[in-house]
Amino acid sequence: MNGPQPPAEELSLAEQAYRAIRDRLVLLDIRPGAPINEEQLSQSLGFGRTPIREALKRLQYERLIATFPRRGTFATEVNITDLAHLSEVRRQLEPMAASQAARRATAGDRDRLTDLQRRLESASEQGRSPDDLMRLDLAVHRAIYAATHNPYLEDTLVRYDNLATRVWCLFVDRLPGMAGHVGEHGPLLRTITAGDADKAAELARSHVEGFERAIREAL
């Protein structure tokens, strides 16, 4: 489970390795189809082989890597035909998460969401790079999921958002409106912190539908 996230120094080595490799895969720093080498990851990330192995087991379950007999382990391919399946799930669960976050967010959650809202405004003004925008988008989604205080919903949505983000990264050069798409989170975050569950669900659903539409237009 992803659950509430403790400070980095309290995370196990396996958890730190998992998050580092996961984000490399999600943001396509490790390209789809690329071989996964335990020794190289161990050296580049500074973790021992055991934490790396434990991390890779989780990533295989999350469909970010795949192991083939006599061939080895590879980053999974990004299949555009998966977009419809991902969107079908996210259209149902993202609005649920947004509405539950609006109802359940603690004072600490609201502070984090408000800080992310400021970062979104700053990113819009400064014209951030696509990589910065993608990382900010991931941070926003993960903060909303955490604010639901439902670890099962959070875990499920993190997995699906990771897979959807890989699709987005694959087409980022063809998406000139990316900053605007990420900026849509501003009204959503304000609505969640205001505690308006119905409006939050509506905005989250619209965001998912807009994401799918933008990808299809880029094909």
Instruction: For residue range 116-149, list pLDDT tens digits in order.
Output: 999 988 876 666 777 888 899 999 999 999 999 9
Domain that holds residue 47: 8-75
Written as six digits, the tokens of 180 are 């605007």
pLDDT score of 66 more than 90 = yes
Q: What is the pLDDT of residues 12-43, one digit of tens each?
A: 999 999 999 999 999 999 999 999 999 999 99
Q: Is the dihedral of CA 193, 197, 199, 203 positive or negative?
A: positive
Is 53 inside a domain boundary? yes
What integer pLDDT is reported at residue 124 of this predicted model?
67
Same domain, 87 and 181: yes
Is 2 inside a domain boundary? no
We report the CATH number of the domain holding residue 174 as: 1.20.120.530
Same domain, 43 and 89: no
Same domain, 98 and 164: yes
What integer pLDDT is reported at residue 127 of this predicted model?
64
Domain endpoint, select from 38, 58, 75: 75
Residue 169: how many other CB atoms lie within 10 Å: 19
Q: What is the pLDDT of residues 162-206, one digit of tens each?
A: 999 999 888 877 766 665 677 789 999 999 999 999 999 999 999
Is 194 inside a domain boundary? yes
Is 52 inside a domain boundary? yes
Question: Which of 81-85, 103-107, 197-201 is predicted least confidently?
Answer: 81-85
Q: What is the Cα–Cα distance from 162 to 177, expressed in whole angstroms?
A: 20
What integer pLDDT is reported at residue 178 of this predicted model?
62
Is 1 inside a domain boundary? no
pLDDT score of 9 more than 90 = no
What integer pLDDT is reported at residue 171 of this predicted model?
82
Question: Which of 32-36, 102-106, 154-158, 167-171 is predicted least confidently?
Answer: 167-171
What integer pLDDT is reported at residue 118 of this predicted model?
92
* Count helices and strands in the chain by DSSP H and E runs: 10, 2
Same domain, 104 and 186: yes
Same domain, 207 and 123: yes
Is 3 inside a domain boundary? no
From start to end of 33-175, where are the E strands? 65-68, 72-75
112 falls in which pLDDT band (50, 70, 90)? very high
We report the CATH number of the domain holding residue 58 as: 1.10.10.10
Q: What are the phi and psi torsion angles at 202 (to 5°)?
A: -60, -45
Same domain, 28 and 87: no
* Tally of domains in the chain: 2
Same domain, 95 and 71: no
Mean pLDDT of 96-109: 98
Same domain, 104 and 211: yes
Domain endpoint, select from 75, 97, 121: 75
Same domain, 110 and 47: no
Same domain, 155 and 127: yes
What integer pLDDT is reported at residue 179 of this predicted model?
58
8 falls in which pLDDT band (50, 70, 90)? very low
Same domain, 204 and 141: yes
Domain endpoint, select from 75, 98, 129: 75
pTM of this prediction?
A: 0.87
Using CA atoms, how far residue 59 sits from 48, 122, 163, 195, 205, in Å, is 17, 33, 11, 34, 27
What integer pLDDT is reported at residue 1 of this predicted model?
44
Same domain, 137 and 32: no
